[in-house]
Structure 1
Amino acid sequence: MQTHVSTTPFGRRPMTLGQISSQMAAKAVKPDAVAHKWQVFQDIREARELLGATDRSLAILNALLTFHPETTLSGDAELIVWPSNEQLAARANGMPATTLRRHIAVLVECGLVIRRDSPNGKRFARKSRGGEVEQAYGFDLSPLVARAQELHDLAEAVHAERKAFRVAKESLTLLRRDIVKLIDTGIEEGVPGNWGKILLDYQAIITRLPRSAPRQLVEAISADLSVLYADIREALETFTKTQNPDANESHSGRHIQNSNPDLHTESEYSLRKKEEAGGTAAETDNVQSLPKRELPLGIVLDACPGVRDLAQGGEIRHWRDFLAATELARPMLGISSSAWLEAREALGEQHAAITLAAIYQRADQIGSPGGYLRSLTDRAKNGKFSTWPMIMALLRAKLDAQKASDDLGQRRSDSAVEGDGRLQASEALLKNLKRSRER
C-alpha cells in the first residue's frame, strides 16, 4: 500500500516553484476528467514554441506515451510509467543518454510530466500478488489530463496566429503587385502625375520590410501600402473618367500598344537606402536576390534626362531609341568596347544601357567611368547589383535637389519682401544729398 507520493527529484536535481505548480494542477484534476493522449500530444506539438518544448523533448514525450497501455488518460487512473533510460532511448530513435536526460528535464520544466523518483532514483513498480501496481516510481503523465483544455486552447491560438499571418502576407503580396502594375499603367498611358515620386514612396515603404518580418510589421506595411494604392487608383480612375469610353480595347477605338512588349511586372527589387549611382561600386553590395523585373522607360528617362540630348531629335520614344543614345554616350565617357561588351553579356543589353545612362548622368562625380562599369559588371555576375536601386537613387537625388531649390527660392523671395520694407533713407543722408545738389 502506497503511503507517500514522491514530490521531489532524486540527487542533485533542484526543486522549483514551477514543478510545485505542476504538481498542484495534477493533484486538482477531477476523477472524471478524460483526455485522448494522442490528441493532447498533437496539441502540444502545435503549441511547442509557446510551451518552450523542443523537438527532441517531444520525441521523448511520444515515447513515454507509448509505455502507457491505454489510449485515453483519465483522472482516476494510475498514470505513472517507469521505463529505463535504455528502453526510453530505444523508442526515441536511439537518442544518446546525455541528450535524453537533458530533454527529460525540458519536459519537467514545461510542466508536461512530473518526476516521481524512488529513494535510489531508479524507476520501477511494485506489484501485488494479483499483478496490480501498488506503488510506481517514474514519470507521472497526469499533467496532460489536467492541462488538456489549456493545451488545446494554446494550439488553437497558434492556428489562429498562423492564419492571420498567412492572410497578412497574401494581402501584402497583392498590394505590391497591384501598386507596381498600376504605376506602370500610369506611366505607359501618360496619366498626369509625379510617378517618380510615387514609385519612391512605394519603395520607401517596402524597404521597411526585412527578410523575416513578424505579422504586426507586415500588417503595418500593408496598411501604408493600402493608402498609397487608394491614391494611385483614384488618380487613374479620375483620368479614365475624362477620357473617351470608346477607347476600350474591346471596342473599335484607338489601341494603346506597349512600347516594351517584353516588360514583366510580377516582382520588384527592393530599394536600398543608399545611393548606388555615386562614385563607388561598394554601395551596390546589399541587393536582394529577387526575380528580375524590367524598369519602365519613363522612369529611366526621368532619372537620366541627360541621355535625351544624345538622341536624334532630342526625343526617346522606344527602347531602341534609348539603346542608340547610350551607344553614343559610351565613347564620350571613355569606356572601352571590351568593357561595354562584358557589361552587356553580364547585365543584358537593356540593363547595361540603363547602367550606362546612369553613369552618364553622374559623370561629373565618377572619376573612372570605365572602371566603375567593370566593377558593376563584376558585381552583377555575383548577383550583387541591379539597376533598380541605381535609378531610384537618381530619382531621389533629383527630388531632393528640386526641393532644396524651391526652398532657396522661397527664402530669397521672403528676404526681398522684407528688405523692401526696411530700406529707407535716413534724414542725415537726405540732407547731404540736398546740399550736394545746391552746390
Structure 2
Amino acid sequence: MTSHQSTTPFGRRPLSLAMVAARAVSESCPSNAIAQKWKVFDNLREAKTALGISDRALSVLNALLTFHQDTTLQFGSDLIVFPSNKALTFRANGMSPATLRRHLAALVQAGLVIRRDSPNGKRYARKGEEGSIERAFGFDLSPLVARAAEFESLAAQAQAERKVRYFLREEITILRRDIGKTIAVALEEDLAGPWSDLLARFNALNVTPPRNAETMALEAITAQLRTLWANVDNTLKSQLKPQDMSANESHSERHYQNSNPNPLLDSEQSFRKKLEETPAPEPEANKPPIRAFSLGLVLQACPDIAMYTKGGQGISTWRELITAAGVVRGALGISPSAWEDACAVMGDEDAAIVIAAILQRSEMIVSAGGYLRNLTERAREGKFSVGPMVMALLRVAATDGRKSA
C-alpha cells in the first residue's frame, strides 16, 4: 500500500507557491536521476547570489547533507533526513535555535529542500520488520537531484561573471597606471597640451571601485578610462618628435612627477647662497678647464658614485666619472633630456659632478630630475657653479666624520 506523503508544513507555518513549485520540479524528475551531493553543494556555493541564499543558510544545508550517508543522491531512494534540532545545531557549528529555524525556512523557500512534516511536527523514521526505513519525516533532499543541472548552469554563469569582473578590475588598474604615469611624464617634460584638464579628469576617475561593485558599474568606469587614455595617448604622441619615438634604451627611462615647483627641500636651503655664485670664466679653446679642485676632492665629497662603476673598482679619471654619472642618472629616474641639457649647459664633467652630488644627498631631494633641471637653469643664467656645491658636501662629510669618531 502506498501512503500519502506530506506536502504541507506543520503548525502555523504557511504553504507558499515556492514550496509547491519545488515539489512539482521534484516530482517531474526522472526516477533514475542521480547527483553527487558535494558537487551539487559546490555549485550552490557558486550560485548562491542568483538563488538568493546566504552563507549561513548554506552552512545549514551542509549540515543536513552530512546526515545522508551516501555521497551520491539517487532519486527514488530514501532522500529524507530527519536530524533533531540539537544534532543539527551541533553540526551547524553551534548555531542558535532561532537562527537555525530561520535558515531552514530560507532553504525551503528557495526550493532546495522540501519539508515532509509528521502529524505532530517531529522528525523521525519508522522502520519495518527487516530494519529498513518504511516512512520518514524530515527534510527531503530530492530537489538537489532534480535541479542539479540548473545549479551547475547557474554556477557556470557566476564563475563567468566573476571572471569578467576580475578582468575589468585588472584593466581599470592598468589604465589608471598608464594614464597617471603618462600625464606625469608630460608635465615633467613641460609638453604642450591640455594636460591640466586631462589631469583633472583623471583625478575624478582615479577612485578604486568598491569590492562589491556590479559588472555594469565596472564596465562604465572602464569605458570612461579607455576614452581618457585615448585622449592622453593621442595628445602625447602629437607632441613628440619622430626621434623621441625611438625604442632606444636611453629614451625609456623611468620618470617621476615633481609636484613641487621648487624641488629643493627645506633642509637644503643652507646651500642656496653657495649655489648662486657666478661660473668660472670659460677656458680657452683646446685646453682643459682649470679647476680649483681635483677629481680626488670630488670623490671625497661624493664617495657613493664609486659604487656605480663597472665591477665597483672605483673611479680614477674624469671619463670614468662621466660614465658612472650616466648610470646613476638612470637609477635616479632623471630623464635623458634633463641629462643632455645639463651636459650642454654645464659641460660633461660639471654635469657629472652635479649627478654625483645629487646621489650623495638623494635622501634630501624630492625629485632628482627636477633638481637637475633647476640647477641647469641657474647655470644657464650664470647663477650656479659646482665649486661651492663640492665644498659644501666636503664640510658635510667632515661633520659626519667627526660625529662618527
Classify the TM-score, shorter chain. 0.5 to 0.7
- Does the alignment pair 1:43 with 2:5? no
Deviations 1:309-338 (A, max 9, x none): xxxxxxx6x4469986xx9xxxxxxxxxxx
For residues 179 and 130 of structure 1, the distance between their equivalents in structure 2, rounded to whole angstroms, comes to 76
1:117–1:193 CA distance, 2 compared to 1 (3 A): same
Question: What's 2:159 paired with?
Answer: 159
Question: What's 1:341 paired with?
Answer: none
Deviations 1:323-362 (A, max 9, x none): 86xx9xxxxxxxxxxxxxxxxxxxx9979xxxxxxxxxxx
For residues 139 and 212 of structure 1, the distance between their equivalents in structure 2, rounded to whole angstroms, comes to 34
Q: Does the 8 A contact of 1:25 with 1:146 survive in 2?
A: yes
Amino acid of the residue matched to residue 100 of structure 1? L
Question: What's 1:128 paired with?
Answer: 128
Question: What's 1:183 paired with?
Answer: 183
How far 1:181 moved relative to its partner? 0.5
For residues 77 and 231 of structure 1, the distance between their equivalents in structure 2, rounded to whole angstroms, comes to 65
Matches within 5 A, 1:131-146: 131-146=131-146
Question: What's 1:206 paired with?
Answer: 206
For residues 55 and 254 of structure 2, the distance between their equivalents in structure 1, rounded to whole angstroms, comes to 57
Q: Does the 8 A contact of 2:264 with 2:365 survive in 1?
A: no
Q: Secondary structure at the match of 1:108?
A: helix
For residues 110 and 349 of structure 1, the distance between their equivalents in structure 2, rounded to whole angstroms, comes to 63
How far 1:215 moved relative to its partner? 2.4
1:115–1:237 CA distance, 2 compared to 1 (3 A): same
For structure 1, the residue ranges without an aligned partner over 5 or more in a row are 264-294, 302-315, 328-347, 352-439
Amino acid of the residue matched to residue 16 of structure 2? T
Q: Does the 8 A contact of 1:89 with 1:100 survive in 2?
A: yes
Q: Secondary structure at the match of 1:119?
A: coil
Q: Does the 8 A contact of 1:116 with 1:138 survive in 2?
A: yes
1:95–1:134 CA distance, 2 compared to 1 (3 A): same
Range moving further from structure 2, 65-74 or 17-26: 65-74
Matches within 5 A, 1:366-405: none
Question: What's 2:231 paired with?
Answer: 231
For residues 203 and 154 of structure 1, the distance between their equivalents in structure 2, rounded to whole angstroms, comes to 38
Q: Does the 8 A contact of 2:74 with 2:145 survive in 1?
A: yes
Q: Does the 8 A contact of 2:258 with 2:366 survive in 1?
A: no
How far 1:194 moved relative to its partner? 2.1
Amino acid of the residue matched to residue 258 of structure 2? P
Matches within 5 A, 1:268-417: 296-297=258-259, 318-319=263-264
Amino acid of the residue matched to residue 198 of structure 2? I
How far 1:165 moved relative to its partner? 0.5
For residues 238 and 266 of structure 2, the distance between their equivalents in structure 1, rounded to whole angstroms, comes to 32
Question: What's 1:102 paired with?
Answer: 102
Question: What's 1:192 paired with?
Answer: 192
For structure 2, the residue ranges without an aligned partner over 5 or more in a row are 273-363, 368-405
Q: Does the 8 A contact of 1:2 with 1:135 survive in 2?
A: no
Deviations 1:42-88 (A, max 9, x none): 11112122212222221221111111121111122121111111121
Question: What's 1:215 paired with?
Answer: 215
Amino acid of the residue matched to residue 12 of structure 1? R
Question: What's 2:19 paired with?
Answer: 19
Range moving further from structure 2, 30-39 or 236-245: 236-245
Q: Does the 8 A contact of 1:323 with 1:350 survive in 2?
A: no
1:246–1:150 CA distance, 2 compared to 1 (3 A): closer
For residues 92 and 244 of structure 2, the distance between their equivalents in structure 1, rounded to whole angstroms, comes to 73
- State the TM-score, normalized to the length of structure 2: 0.61
Question: What's 1:87 paired with?
Answer: 87
Amino acid of the residue matched to residue 86 of structure 2? E
How far 1:241 moved relative to its partner? 3.6
How far 1:250 moved relative to its partner? 3.6
Q: Does the 8 A contact of 1:116 with 1:139 survive in 2?
A: yes
For residues 267 and 45 of structure 2, the distance between their equivalents in structure 1, rounded to whole angstroms, comes to 59
For residues 242 and 88 of structure 1, the distance between their equivalents in structure 2, rounded to whole angstroms, comes to 74
1:123–1:180 CA distance, 2 compared to 1 (3 A): same
How far 1:195 moved relative to its partner? 1.2
For residues 64 and 256 of structure 1, the distance between their equivalents in structure 2, rounded to whole angstroms, comes to 62
For residues 256 and 36 of structure 1, the distance between their equivalents in structure 2, rounded to whole angstroms, comes to 57
- State the TM-score, normalized to the length of structure 1: 0.57
Q: Does the 8 A contact of 1:206 with 1:221 survive in 2?
A: no
For residues 190 and 322 of structure 1, the distance between their equivalents in structure 2, rounded to whole angstroms, comes to 27
Amino acid of the residue matched to residue 94 of structure 2? G
Q: Secondary structure at the match of 1:44?
A: helix
For residues 167 and 190 of structure 1, the distance between their equivalents in structure 2, rounded to whole angstroms, comes to 34
For residues 71 and 32 of structure 1, the distance between their equivalents in structure 2, rounded to whole angstroms, comes to 16
Question: What's 1:74 paired with?
Answer: 74
1:89–1:210 CA distance, 2 compared to 1 (3 A): closer
How far 1:144 moved relative to its partner? 0.2
For residues 29 and 35 of structure 2, the distance between their equivalents in structure 1, rounded to whole angstroms, comes to 11
Deviations 1:377-413 (A, max 9, x none): xxxxxxxxxxxxxxxxxxxxxxxxxxxxxxxxxxxxx
1:210–1:81 CA distance, 2 compared to 1 (3 A): closer
RMSD: 3.0
Q: Does the 8 A contact of 2:22 with 2:111 survive in 1?
A: yes
Amino acid of the residue matched to residue 11 of structure 1? G
Amino acid of the residue matched to residue 156 of structure 2? E
How far 1:141 moved relative to its partner? 0.3
Deviations 1:23-46 (A, max 9, x none): 000111101211000100111112
Question: What's 1:116 paired with?
Answer: 116
User: Percent identity, aligned pairs only?
Assistant: 47
How far 1:164 moved relative to its partner? 0.5
How far 1:106 moved relative to its partner? 1.0
